[in-house]
Structure 1
């Protein structure tokens, strides 16, 4: 296995972890908060899907879209933790599941940025 394959597999694993956790969290949210449940379910499915572009190396456009979507998810989480935020009006708690999800998502961002840097260097 080539060394650069490890980055793609690590990115796929990170987004899969975040996606699976979001799907699990959606099952807890759907009965109580439909909007959160749908957000977690749709976002989780998208993150699990994103394993395919990473493993199959679909290219920089796909990687960039993955970075953008993940960055939006992270931003939503950060904003909703701030007291008196514009989305929920109150700061939410930081759960163990949230820490796992955010760690996986930040790892995905870092790994994909490294992949993009490596691909750019190869083209030079």
Structure 2
């Protein structure tokens, strides 16, 4: 039973990071006018999160979990900054970006929590 619960944690983490990656890639078209640095950020972070589905589903090990945890924690901070700036300057934010950023934040935080449970619970 414990293995089934652990497998569900890995699948939940994979789903959260995968959805966050897809949502990051959805921001690429609206970021093109804002500048290449934003477009690059959304492409790289989206592809990295999509890639990170693989280590979670395949259970590659603790080091991969820690790297994913740390990387996504950084993305939570960056996405949080975007959300705060969007709220401060709503006239500069393209329609739909704030909603996507909030959804990304929810999935990333969920991934971080689930991965922390995976890392810190003993088998």
TM-score (norm 1): 0.82
| RMSD, matched Cα | 2.0
Corresponding residue number in structure 1 for 2:116: 113
| SS of aligned partner of 2:46 | helix
Which structure 1 residue ranges, 4+ long, deviate > 6 Å from structure 2? none
State the structure with bigger RCO (CA 8 A, min sep 6), 1 or 2. 2
Give the total of aligned pairs. 114
Corresponding residue number in structure 1 for 2:35: 33
Unaligned runs of 5+ in 2: 91-96
Distance apart, 1:31 and its partner CA: 3.6
Higher helix share: 2
Q: 1:4 to 1:13 in 2, by over 3 A?
A: same
Distance apart, 1:26 and its partner CA: 1.2
Corresponding residue number in structure 2 for 1:86: none
1:44-59 equivalence runs, <5 A: 44-59=46-61
